[in-house]
Copies of this chain bind each other. A is one copy, B any other.
C-alpha cells in the first residue's frame, strides 16, 4: 500500500453530513468531493459508484454511532427499566444543534431508497436494527420484572423505541426544531414506565 486512505474517511464523513442535510439523491458525487476536499478521481478509486459509497457510509454510520452509545453515561444506570429511561434521557440530551445534526442518516436513506436499492435498504435496516438490539437485554430484564406481563417481546419494544425516535426526527424536520422530538421521547418514557414499572403503583 501507499499512503493511508485519508480521502476515503473524509468522503464518507462528508457524505453522511450532506445526506443528513439534503438527502441522498440531492447529494451529488461532486458535492461530496468538494465537501471532503478531494478530487473525483479519489472518489471513484475508493468506490465503484455512488451506491457503493452509500453502502460504505451506512457501515461508517454504525462505526460512528455504536461507540457513541456504548460509552454514553446511561450505560452506568441500573439494568432494566432505569437504564432504558436513562437511554431516552440521553437521546433527548443529544437533540442539539440544527435539525440535520441530530437526525439519523439511516432513517433518511431508508425513506429515499426503499424502492430503488435493495442492498442499501438492507444496509440501513441493519444500522437501525443493530442499534435496537443493544437495548434488548434491558428490555428482557424489564419485562421479566414487570407488573403486567402482557405478551411483550424485548425485540418488539426495542424496535418501537426506534420507531418513536425516527418519527420524532421526521416531525422535527417538518417543524424545523427539536421540541416535538423531546416531547415524544417523554411520551415514550411514560409508556415504558406505565408498562414496565415493577410491583405496585399508587
Binds B, one of A36-44, A70-78, A135-143, A168-176: A168-176
Does A23 reach chain B (CB closer than 8 Å)? yes
Are A22 and B184 in contact, CB atoms less than 8 angstroms apart?
Answer: no
Neighbour of A171 across the interface among B98, B128, B190, CB < 8 A: B128
Majority DSSP secondary structure for residues of A touching B: helix
Q: Give the residues in chain B near A128, CB-CB below 8 Å.
A: 171, 174
A interface, how many residues as a size bin?
Answer: 35 or more
Chain B nearest CB, measured from A157 CB (Å): 8
Q: Which residue of B lies closest to A164 (CB)?
A: B167
Among A2-10, A61-69, A83-91, A100-108, the stretch in contact with B: A100-108
Closest residue to A159 on the B side, CB-wise? B180
Whether A168 touches B167, Cβ cut-off 8 Å, given contacts A25-B26, A26-B112, A115-B100, is yes
The answer to whether A34 has its CB under 8 Å from any CB of chain B is: no
Q: Across the interface, do A174 and B26 meet the contact criterion of CB distance under 8 Å? A: no
